[in-house]
Amino acid sequence: MGRAASLAAAALAVTAAWWLLALLLASPVLPAPNVVLTRLVTLGPGVLLRHAAASLLRVAGALLLAAAPAVPLGMMMGRLPRFDRVLAPVTYLLYPVPKIALLPIVFLLVGIGDLARVTIVALVLFFQILVAVRDATRSIPAPYLTSIASLGGTRLQALRFVLFPAILPELLTAVRIGTGTALAVLFFAETFFTNYGLGTFIVESWMRVSYADMLAGIVVMGLLGLFLFGLIDLTERRLCPWKHRRHR
């Protein structure tokens, strides 16, 4: 079964389970899928698209803000033992801290604008990328670097043709894993001091007791996550074709 067919089958199974649960509960809190679909069609082109675009831009900005320092720092930790001995304890101390707990501090430091929401999501992604890149860099066999050096390759060429291709699959895996957590944190962050974002729309719909709108927002947030996962998978297939050839 192809990927599209598997995805369609999964969507049908979830919809059927949702429909059955809505019939059993018979509660306005859980409207049937057709009711929510009607609201999706009605709100989608204008309201929901605007909220989804705001959330997507925040996640994209957070990814860039996190990856820019995390990738080089992770590579340095993986290749330089002294550097790793300094940063590893700090990383292990800060990594387990729930980043959403830092949201009030972030609001106080950078204000209540979009930068605060991007920053808190970037903190989630930063540590996952940092640890993944560090471990991937440490696991690169030494003969790989020795071979390119023996052929007259420069450090920049070793970085381009050995180090970066070797860590790329683990980097994308870290981004994939972090995306789900990042969306959860973003949902919470968007419930404060902002007019646009799926978190704002969902909570406002809940407060208006508009459960069909609320579920429509939840569906769109799920679709946003699906889009991001698909984009990461596509990037991996384009940039890491050797990884998929191994699993055929």
CATH classification of the domain holding 42: 1.10.3720.10
**Confidence bin at 35 (pLDDT 50/70/90):** very high
Question: Burial of 30 by CB count in 10 Å (0-12 exposed, 13-18 middle, 19+ buried)?
Answer: middle
Q: Which residue has the higher pLDDT, 7 or 61?
A: 61
CA pair distance 132, 127, nearest whole angstrom: 8
Give the predicted TM-score (pTM) of the model.
0.88
Does any domain span residue 107?
yes
pLDDT-derived band at 30, boundaries 50, 70, 90: very high
In a domain, 134, yes or no: yes
- Tell me whether residue 197 is in a domain: yes
**Residue 95 and residue 141: Cα distance in Å, rounded?**
27
Over residues 223-239, mean pLDDT: 91
Contact yes or no for 183/217 (Cβ under 8 A): no
Q: How many domains does the chain have?
A: 1
pLDDT of 247:
52
Residue 244 in this model has a pLDDT that exceeds 70? no
Report the share of the chain in percent with pLDDT over 90. 61
How does pLDDT run across 39-59, given as a tens digit for each residue? 999 987 889 999 999 999 999
In a domain, 185, yes or no: yes
Domain, as residue range, for 71:
30-246
Q: Is residue 14 part of a domain?
A: no
- Whether residue 215 lies inside any domain: the answer is yes
- The answer to whether residue 2 sits within a structural domain is no
Which of 18, 8, 32, 6 lies closest to 211, judged by CA?
Answer: 32
The mean pLDDT of 151-163, rounded to a whole number, is: 79
Residue 116 binned pLDDT confidence (cut-offs 50, 70, 90): very high
- For residue 9, tell me if it sits in a domain: no
